[in-house]
Structure formats: C-alpha cells, structure tokens
Amino acid sequence: MTETAITEVESWIPGGGLSRSETMHELSNPWSGQPSLKIAPAGAEGIEAAVAFAKNAFGENLGATVAQRSQWLNAAADAIEARIDSLVEMSISHIGKPRRAAEFETKRSAAFVRACARQIHDFGGEVLPLDSAPAGKDLFGFTRRVPYGVVAAITPFNAPANLLVQKVAPALVTGNAVIIKPCLEGSAIAIEIARAFEEAGLPESLLSVVTGHREEARLLAEHEDVALVTLTGGTKAGEALAKAAGAKPFVGELGGNSPNIVCADANIEDAVARITPSAFEASGQQCISTQRILVEEPVFESFLEKFETAASKMKVGDPRDRDTDLGPVVSSEAADRIEAMIEEARTAGARILGGPQREGCTIRPTIIVNPERDARVVREEIFGPVAVVIKVRDLDDALAVANDSEFGLQGSCFTSSLETAFRVSNELRVGSLWINEEAVSDSTTIPSAGWARADTAVKACATPWKSAPSGSSRACAFPGTPESLLKQLLP
C-alpha cells in the first residue's frame, strides 16, 4: 500500500500571525489507516485574532458594490476550478471519499459560487404601503437587504468543499465577513478554498479559517462580535452551539432520517434504481441520505428482493478507484458506532441483509428489515451505509411511521398517483419532498428549510442561502413539467 503523506495544517488568518500550538490533532487516512493530517488548534488566541480582523475588514468593505462582490465570486470560482485536482486528492486521502464523488462535489462547489454571483443581481427589497394606517398618510416606506457583519461558518466532513461554499459564498456576496471553522478532516480543504478567494482579489480578512475542534466552535459561536452562526453538523453539536450563540441568529442544517415511501402503485424498478444510491453512496454519510424505506405490503417482497440485488452490485473499495461507489466511513470510531447499531437491531430480531461486512473503516451496504419501531436504527440518524426497510399496511400507516420522528429534513414518495403525491406533500413533515426521486436530491435554487417538533430543540433547518423568508417551509419537487401535470389532472 502506498505510504500516505502527512499534511500539517494551522489556522489561516490573513493579517495576523499566531504562535503555533504545541498540541496537535492527528488523523489517519480512513482507507489505509496511515497518518494523514496533523492540525494545530486555533485556541482562544486564534479566535480572538480572526474575529478582530474580520470585524475590521467588514467595516472597511461595507461600500463594496454588488458588481464588485459578484466579480470576486466569479474569480473565486475560476480559482477553485484550477484547484480541482488537489481538492479531490485531499478529499480522498483525508476523508476517504471515492474519486468520482469527490470530483462531482468539487465541480459543483465552483458552480454554486457562480450561482451566488448571478443571483445577487436579483436581490431587492419591497415598497411598503405605510398609508394602510391613518398615521402613515403621505409617508413612503421600503425595505432593503443588509449584511449581518461577521458570520461564523462551521462545516462538516462529508462534503468539505460544497457545504463550505454554501455558507461562504452567500455570506460574502451579500457583504458579510466570514470565519470558517471546518471539521478536522476538512481543514486542509477549507484553507485551500480560502486561498482561492484570496487569489480572486477578496480583500484581506473578509475570509479566514480557524482550525480546531469543539472548543474552537464554541468560542466562535459565543463571541460577542460574531453576528450570526451557521452550522452543518450533528444535532447534538447544533444544540450545544445554539446555546453558546445565545440570542444571535443561528442557522443549523442538522441531523436527518429521511423517509422514502414506496406505494403499491409505484414503478418498483425505478424506485429501487433511485433509492439505492441515495441510501449507500458517500457510505450513507449525508444528512439527506435515505435511511427509512416504508414499503406498502403488496409490493414489499418485490421491492426488497430488487433492492438487495441492487445494493449487492455496488462496488466497495479503494476510494482512489474511479469505479468505486462506496469507500470507507470517516473513522474507525464511526465504523464502530454503525456496526454496534446494526448488531443491536439484529439481537432484537431484525433481519439483516448484505452485511455488516467490515474491513477497517469500510462497511458494505447493509439492509435492516422490519426492526422494532423504537429501535435506534429507526429513531436515530445512522450516518452510515445502512438502510432500514419497513413493511407498512397502506399510505396512512406509511405517513404515521414517517412522521414519528424528531427529524424532518428531506423525504420522498414513489407513486403513480398525482392524488397521492399531493396528499403526501401536505402531510409528510419534511422540509423538502421529492416525488419519484431520491431524497438525496438537492438543488441550488429550491428552498430546503427543515421541520422540527415544537417540543424539541431544532433538528433541521436550512443554510442561509436556501432558508425561507420566515419560519419553516416545505419545498416539493415533481417530475415532468407543469403541462404534463395538468394532463394528469384533466379528464
């Protein structure tokens, strides 16, 4: 096996040097098991320096025009594209992401930055009818969008480039300064992307990167000069950081447990073809990965047989191989947790198909059939290459099971009935619903706010660019065109 080079990383704070921490976080390549990263935490000194420089840079650049900010982003997209090869190699060696998926993600990151550069030109306010009240006679009002100030962006390992730019690009193009606190595994990628923005001409200290772990995230969230905190990560982390942030705005894209309903009238072959990659690609390490598959009784056995066959054909192995569908999960600790959840379901009587065949940090696609409704694999986010298939009596039963969850990020329904599709769009409590499409689908333009129980902490909501104007929303996507839908409605 080829020896892995060790990359040493420290905070990237233009305008201010830091004394190097003697304590280093050390990580291994999840495929080879060899050391791959050493990360120097920023500590309190780094957080203070980054916030001070960002606050100053924000004030100095408040006068930057929309045209100038858009130009910075377009140039940054060019610089990211020029770094695709190096970003992909980092994603493979530091995270274990398969090459094909890493290339797709990195290219999409540049495309998203360009999309933000375009969309800023359409941002506007509205005119307000102040004379709707007697005191408003002869008065004129309007609204306009203004930046928050210093934005703290805390990003995860599973899409270290794309989920980073989904926070950074919207915030920068609307006039904010941004401090990134990446996950440990994505630290080198974050710094490389920050350098791309610097190369694009972004003024010094409008973007910086502080490295570290939970302590750095907490210090950043609670800092009085940070105006907004945005996190993509686990639910527990979100709850802790929301508490640290206090009264300031907090935007969290947190845990998920995506339900996919397969109705008796669905095209089963098509449903299997779409659900399989949604459940297992990226080794299931996506908050919108399909986890619970609720199949109506008449087609349950047919679906299960085809799903097991499709899962068994996925190629598991070396993430450097372009043909690999599933590489390792991010760490041995993650693999231990996933394996324990599977074994717990097996011990309780669930049927296990396909796994868990584990080698190092690699786990083959695993299907858990009809576990107890209160099992951890049903109630919690697995975040691994595991799908739970549950037999339901009918649509009423499917909706009841799907909604019996504290998560509400994305979901899907497979059906040939437009009536069923609209009913599910009304009753399934998720932020984004896909009809005859896998739940892992994502779009730059569609809102993706999440739903959460009123009696729990926030479990899922959107990134700043995608969030609804206020409260929660439900975005629904239907296949085809408006005309084709109307043909189904008309006699």
Bridge partners of 209, per DSSP, are 12, 180
Q: What is the largest CA-CA distance in the chain?
A: 79
Question: Which run of H or of E encompasses 208?
Answer: strand 207-209
Residue 238: partners with Cβ closer than 8 Å, 6 or more residues away? 231, 252, 254, 255, 457, 458, 459
- The rounded distance, in Å, linking the Cα atoms of 222 and 229 is 9
Active-site positions read: 253, 287
Residue 222: partners with Cβ closer than 8 Å, 6 or more residues away? 244, 245, 246
Residue 155: closest CA among 110, 68, 216, 89: 216
- Number of Cβ within 10 Å of residue 138's Cβ equals 6
| Burial of residue 26 (number of CB atoms within 10 Å: 0-12, 13-18, 19+) | exposed
- The rounded distance, in Å, linking the Cα atoms of 441 and 278 is 8
Determine the straight-line distance between the first and last CA of the chain, rounded to whole angstroms.
64
Quick one: tokens of 390?
């549950």
- DSSP at 224: T
- The rounded distance, in Å, linking the Cα atoms of 458 and 491 is 44
- The rounded distance, in Å, linking the Cα atoms of 169 and 361 is 33
Quick one: tokens of 405?
């969850």
User: What burial letters (b/e) apply to 159-178, b meaning 16+ CB within 10 Å?
Assistant: bbbbbbbbbbbbbbbbbbbb
- The rounded distance, in Å, linking the Cα atoms of 335 and 352 is 17
> Cis peptide before 41, with omega less than 30 degrees from 0?
no
Type of residue found at 197: F
DSSP letters, 334-376, are HHHHHHHHHHHHHHTT-EEES---EETTEE--EEEES--TTSH
Q: Are 248 and 400 in contact (CB under 8 A)?
A: no
Quick one: tokens of 376?
């951890």
Task: Provide the total of helices (H) and of strands (E) in the chain, helices listed first.
Answer: 15, 20
- The rounded distance, in Å, linking the Cα atoms of 43 and 425 is 46
